[in-house]
Amino acid sequence: MTGFPILTLLLAVPLLAALGCLLAGAQTARRLALAATLIDFALGVVLWSRYDIGGAQWQFTENVALFAGFSYKLGIDGIALLLIMLSVFLMPICIGASWRSIDKRVGEYMAAFLLMETLMIGVFAAQDLFLFYIMFEAGLIPMYLIIGVWGGADRIYASYKFFLYTLLGSVLMLIAMMWMVNDAGTTDIPTLMAYDFPVGAQKWLWLAFFASFAVKMPMWPVHTWLPDAHVQAPTAGSVILAGVLLKMGGYGFIRFSLPMFPEASAQFAPLIFALSMIAVIATSLIALVQHDMKKLIAYSSVAHMAIVTIGLFAFNVQGLEGSMIVMLSHGLVSGALFLAVGVIYDRLHTREINRYGGLAISMPRYALFFMLFTMASVGLPGTSGFVGEVLALTGVYQVSSWVAAVCGMGVILGAAYMLYLYRRVVFGIQANPDAAAMTDLDLREWLMMVPLAGAVLWMGIYPESFLRPMRQDIAALDARLSRARPTGDATLTPGKPQSAVRAVTETGHEQPASAPMRAH
Amino acid sequence: MDPILFIVFLPLLAAMIAGLGNRALGSVAAKTVTTGALFIACALSWPIFLGFLGGHAEPHVVPVLQWVRSGALSFDWALRVDTLTAVMLVVVTSVSALVHLYSWGYMDEDPDQPRFFAYLSLFTFAMLMLVTADNLVQMFFGWEGVGLASYLLIGFWFRKPSASAAAIKAFVVNRVGDLGFMLGIFGTFLVFNTVSIPEILVRAPAMAGSTIHFLGMQWDTMTILCVLLFIGAMGKSAQLGLHTWLPDAMEGPTPVSALIHAATMVTAGVFMVCRLSPMFAASPTAMAFVTIVGACTLFFAATIGTTQWDIKRVIAYSTCSQLGYMFVAAGVGAPGAAMFHLFTHAFFKALLFLGAGSVIHAMHHEQDMRFYGGLRKQIPWTFWAMMAGTLAITGVGIVDVFGFAGFYSKDSILEAAYASASESGRFGFWMGIFAALLTSFYSWRLMFLTFYGKPRWAGSEHVQHAAHGDHHGADTHAHGHHDDGTAGYHPHESPLSMLVPLVLLSTGAVLAGFAFHHSFISGGPGEFWKGSVAFSEELIHHMHGVPWQVKWAPFAVMLTGFLTAWQFYIRKPETPAQVAAQLGGLYRFVYNKWYFDELYDRVFVRPAFWLGEKFWKLGDIGLIDRFGPNGAAWVVAQGSRGAQRFQSGYLYSYALVMLLGLTAAISWVMVH
């Protein structure tokens, strides 16, 4: 498809602005960064409105062959579209969150953020395997810088951990990619998604990709970099880390592991389920005992991401769509929660939960937004969190009632740790005079909160806007996975139990006329 | 536009105006908007109910907005109106409107009134979404929405640590039930491939006898689905095991207790079981389970109610117990009786709570009945209202002549339990009869301690505080002259805004049973319910044929309870202490609420924190970090000059590794 290269423009705007920021003074850099991210958001809106739902699977494609089969090839489907929208939506908010709190090396900071935006969009838009790899790995470099330069006291250890985990995964993934290109003879991702790799090799390829995606997700037990990274990162860094970077792991599973290695995915689904169940229980309990607000929310992210992985490996439409919605929702909600922490951190310069208390008295507007995002995080119906959670769990229930029940425990524990946090920060008396003296949201902060709140409610009340663009792509993926779909443990046995105690497994003649046997 | 749209969405609109306007809007405007919206909703609801009562209204569904489509799973926002909904509509909007009005007086001195009224209206909206749900997910939306409103209102006085703690407890305990509800929804979707309630109910009977795998075991399909859904109902309706949040919820302002924790939200579980009654009817095991849980709850809660001193806690346990009656009725296959008790209970229990609020208001926030006494003459309107409520809850009435509201509804439950002729039904009947005795006892105990005898106000800190404040300035000779137990305090009757709701609810408590029992129970239930609940004609028939002993037994135990209370608290006030001393351990067991809170604290709460600490310190830090990144750093440090140098250069190393790798990859591809 030829036409206006809107995806290239999406990549170019922040990149050029980043160069500008490097040269500009502090205030100019802030304004330039804000302008660039807002332009990118506007371009994203154009992209969404021009996206033809139900049309070609890959749209807005661009292709420039470079050398040796390696090409600059871009294009998006509905899944990529939604994740690009999430990125361009969160970016202006991040710039806004850094407006005052960053006051050293502002130009470089803004440049790092803008570069990261380019690379993130690139990850979701890349259609060439190596192009994806460059974007995927290089996207982390600005993040290291943001943590390492503008981070908190212990930033070196945090970025070191982040680096170490990521390195391991990326090397294995690169080797796997080389093998794949050799076998399939192409670096074109859409072609690879339809290519049937030998079942024996799939296992190794799957594990190599898993090593990378599991770290990014992050899945238990390779999650310990996340709490440190969040705690040390500046507010906007946490927002983008939780909001978009964690989604790269899930996107990787959807784009690579599932369609390219369906048999291996089915084979390793129990591993994914086991790790996810441990993650939900363990990290939720850990979140319960945290004294540091950012650490608490970071651990809750691990638990939420586990719902994404079980949904993805449920091998059905509800699971896949639910996972996508959880990713989008978590991007908004955890981003908003980190922002909410940032608002009070900017005033009191501590993340210690016990230093706060009674904020409802002096900061009622803040309390309202914090309540909304807390409820979205615990998955209250009417917010985005619920739609994703209920779809993902419905999906996984069809595969395993155990997984659904254990991960459902997250619903209880999530309410416990989030409300416990809210109680200690917002309710109670104003025990600390400096916390009591804090002022309510100013206009800048209010302008950051309102779009997030609106998006969270929109996705909760009318998720069709977000489900529709990806429906066709999820259906295609579901069809691709159908050959490897495992049978669930919760299947229905019809008929009279007296006559057929537990032997009847086929759909016999005793089945009631209208009863469907399995849901898809 | 269909009036149901206004009924449901006006409260939401009012809540948003009052909540977002908050202090900028001002108390009076916020109160006017929310109360006005509720009275309009109430005025629109009654014609719908009367339409179904007259038999000329037809069930219908009003679509609102598409919600979720995902593969075969689809559910929308829609409002269903049928007889069952109509009953709930009048209950919810009437009690809510009166509670809004009552709060004008009760919350008069609170600085946060807009927030309070916004929460009340938000609650009403969520409750209305629940009762108009046409699919299980929207019901769950309302379910969680009322949970949120309940959380916010229990914790309304957020400066009090006990209020915040009670709010969290309510939410989290409810979530335990909600997990059951959610698993029930997932299972229902798996079996029926839909979450639309009408479609499920049509196809449920055909599923009887099939089995399904769940958590490693093979279950009867309808049994496991119903039990899972019922676990949700147990949480919301505070049934045995998941009841611990309800007494603590009394930390909220009293109008909240009346609306949410007596009349409406806690009955959502009963409503759910009735709404899904054709589903439950397909599983005798699930029905028996419902009956037994209800029977145990009504007994257990009634025993605790006899020993508590806090006036609101007595009524809270009473609510818990009455909800047990409703589940017994639903479990023996008489959802009509369950709904009828829900209906009458909403009026008389809201009345009792609002009456208690009026007493608390008069006694300057003292809630301990040991410091009440002799209030009959001081606050006569409140006294007569509480009397009407007590006559209703104890079920005073003469068979075939006239009775107060609870007489009709509770007796029909006991008759249904007896007539059901099942083991669980018999159990429910005997438990119900015994609990009726306790109900009568604790209700009259409350009346006697509060309104009769001599004033014991002097012992109350709240009253002393108030009396002390009163006397400063005017007369200084006051001290020492009040050996009559009043401490010189003069309780005042509540303002008109509080008395009007009391009078209206009293009318309901007196007449609701007599006026509607024909439609709900004994007349043509098929004509009234129009298939919105599954009832058994046979059971109705048997209910008419129960022996006279069964018909009169509730009356006999009611009288016994009254006389015992009279003996204990009027004639020989020293008796209760003697009895308590004689019972010793048993009394302490009951007084300490069967030690549920202590048990849960040891079994769930503390281990959760302990485990969290261990997973964190031992798992993440001690194991994963130690042998993961820190271990790697150590290994590297051994090889190089030290981790420090390595760490400071890591970024360049990373970029280098990536670039080298990529170069290698590309050249490798080029070579091939």
* pLDDT for the residue numbered B531: 77
Closest to A467 (Cβ–Cβ): which among B70, B159, B650? Answer: B70
Q: Of B630, B282, B564, give the one whose Cα is nearest residue A228.
A: B630
Please tell me the predicted confidence (pLDDT) of residue B666.
65
Contact flag B666-A68 (C-beta cutoff 8 Å): yes
Does B601 reach chain A within 8 Å, measured CB to CB? no
d(CA B525, CA B335): 11
Please state, for a pLDDT cut of 70, what percent of chain B lies above it. Answer: 91
List of chain B residues whose C-beta atoms are within 8 Å of the C-beta of residue A163 = 650-651, 654
Query: Going by C-beta distance under 8 Å and a sequence separation of 6 or more, which residues neighbour residue B78?
Result: B61, B62, B63, B64, B132, B134, B135, B138
Kindly identify which residue of chain A lies nearest to residue B152, measuring between CA atoms: A371
Q: Are B392 and B404 in contact (CB under 8 A)?
A: yes
Q: Tell me what pLDDT residue B593 has.
A: 86
What pLDDT, on a 0 to 100 scale, did the predictor assign at position A505? Answer: 37
Asked if B33 has any chain A CB less than 8 Å from its own CB, the reply is no
What's the pLDDT at B629?
Answer: 75
Which chain B residue lies closest to A508 (C-alpha atoms)?
Answer: B210
Question: Is A289 part of a structural domain of the chain?
Answer: yes
Whether the pLDDT of residue B485 is over 80: the answer is: no
CA distance A97 to chain B (A): 24
Q: Which residues of B touch A182 (CB under 8 A)?
A: 668-669, 672
- Structure confidence by residue, pLDDT tens digits, B548-603: 888 899 999 999 999 999 999 988 888 888 888 888 889 888 888 888 989 998 98
pLDDT value at residue A439: 87
Q: What percent of chain B has pLDDT over 90?
A: 58
CB contact under 8 A, B211 and A497: yes
Please name the member of A68, A166, A495 whose beta carbon is closest to the beta carbon of B210.
Answer: A495
DSSP secondary-structure letter at A3?
Answer: S
When pLDDT is cut at 50, 70 and 90, the band that residue B481 belongs to is low
Per-residue pLDDT at A501: 36
Question: Is the pLDDT confidence value at B469 over 80?
Answer: no
Average pLDDT over residues A19-35: 90
Per CB-CB distance under 8 Å, the chain B contacts of A412 are 172, 175-176, 178-179
A71 beta partners: A65
What is the tens place of the pLDDT at every residue in B430-453? 999 999 999 999 999 999 999 998
Chain B: residue whose CA lies nearest to A395: B186
Q: Quote the minimal CA–CA distance from B26 to chain A in Å.
A: 15
- Packed helices B136-154 and B268-275: angle between N→C axes, nearest 10 degrees: 170
Confirm whether A303 is domain-assigned.
yes
Beta carbons of A415 and B172 less than 8 Å apart: yes
Average pLDDT, chain B: 88
CA atoms within 13 A on the CB side of B129: 27
Cβ of residue B209 closer than 8 Å to a chain A Cβ: yes
**B220 reaches A (C-beta below 8 A):** yes
How many domains, chain A? 1
Question: Per the CB < 8 Å rule, is A467 touching B178?
Answer: no
Residue B478 pLDDT exceeds 50: no
Q: CA B346 to CA A425: how far, in whole Å? A: 36
Q: Which residues of B220-257 are buried (b: 16+ CB within 10 A; e: fewer)?
A: bbbbbbbbbbbbbbbbbbbbbbbbbbbbbbbbbbbbbb
What is the band of B544 on the pLDDT scale with cuts at 50, 70, 90?
A: confident
Looking at the domain assignment, is residue A213 inside a domain?
no
Pairs across A and B, CB distance < 8 A: 268
> How far does A170 lie from chain B, in Å, by closest CA?
8
Please say if the pLDDT value at position B462 is more than 80.
Answer: yes
Q: Dihedral of CA A100/A105/A106/A108: which sign?
A: negative
For B157-175, what is the mean pLDDT? Answer: 93
Q: Return the number of other C-beta atoms located less than 10 Å from residue A479's C-beta.
A: 10
CA distance B280 to chain A (A): 18
Residue in this structure with the two tokens 């009048």, named with its chain if needed: B90
Helix axes A464-481, A317-348, angle to 10 degrees: 130
pLDDT (tens digit, 9 = 90+) per residue, B231-267? 999 999 999 899 999 999 999 999 999 999 888 999 9
Token duo for residue A270: 């129990």
Q: Which two tokens stand for residue A415?
A: 């309410």
Contacts of A159 in chain B (CB under 8 A): 650-651
| Contacts with A463 from chain B: Cβ below 8 Å | 67-68
Is position A63 within any domain? no
If we measure between CA atoms, which residue out of B489, B524, B198, B529 comes closest to residue B362? B489
Domain span at A332 = 262-520
Cis peptide preceding A221, ω within 30 of 0: yes
At B581, phi and psi to the nearest 5?
-65, -40
Q: How large is the average pLDDT for residues A322-333?
A: 96
Is a pLDDT exceeding 70 seen at residue B523?
no
Residue B377 predicted with pLDDT over 70: yes
Q: Among A358, A419, A520, select the one facing B72 at the smallest CB separation.
A: A520
Task: Check residue A298 and give left, alpha or beta (phi > 0: left; psi -120 to 50: alpha).
Answer: alpha
Taking the CA of residue A6 and the nearest CA in chain B, the distance in Å comes to 27
pLDDT above 50: residue A506:
no
Report yes or no on A241 lying in a domain. no
Q: What is the maximal distance between C-alpha atoms in chain B?
A: 109
CB contact under 8 A, B629 and A187: no
Contact A362, A116 (CB under 8 A): no
Least confident interval from B283-292, B530-539, B555-564, B613-622: B530-539
Of all residues in chain B, the one with the smallest CA distance to A71 is: B666
Judge whether B190 is closer than 8 Å to chain A, CB to CB: yes
Angle, nearest 10°, between helix axes B405-419 and B423-451? Answer: 160
* Each residue's pLDDT tens digit, A284-297: 999 999 999 999 99
Convert the pLDDT of each residue in A142-168 to its tens digit. 888 888 888 877 877 887 787 778 777
CA A81, A87, A88, A93 torsion-angle sign:
positive
Assigned domain for A283 exists:
yes
Question: Which chain A residue is nearest to residue B143, measuring alpha carbons?
Answer: A381
Which residues lie across from B402 on neighbouring strands?
A: B398
By the 8 A CB rule, do B352 and B315 touch?
yes
The mean per-residue pLDDT over the stretch A234-250 comes to 92
- Dihedrals φ, ψ of A508, to 5°? -85, -175
Check whether A472 has a pLDDT greater than 50.
yes
Q: With cut-offs at 50, 70 and 90, classify the pLDDT of residue A88.
A: very high
Helix, strand or coil, per DSSP, at residue A63: strand
Of A161, A170, A391, the CB nearest to B658: A170
Residue A144 in any domain: the answer is no
pLDDT on residue B477: 45
The residues in B 100-139 lying below 8 A from A, measured between CB atoms, are: 137
pLDDT, tens digit (0-9, with 9 covering 90-100), for B279-315? 999 999 999 999 999 999 999 999 999 999 999 999 9
Total Cβ atoms within 10 A of residue B377 = 9
Q: Which residues of B touch A186 (CB under 8 A)?
A: none
C-alpha–C-alpha distance, residues A507 and A510, integer Å: 8
**Which residues of B fall within a CB distance of 8 Å from A419?**
151, 167-168, 171-172
Written as one letter, the residue type at B429 is F
Asked if residue A60 belongs to a domain, the reply is no
The average pLDDT across B361-388 equals 91
pLDDT value at residue B294: 95
Residue B405: Cβ within 10 Å count: 34
Residue A147: the pLDDT is: 86
Res B130 pLDDT > 60: yes
Type of residue found at B195: V
Is residue B470 predicted with pLDDT exceeding 60?
no
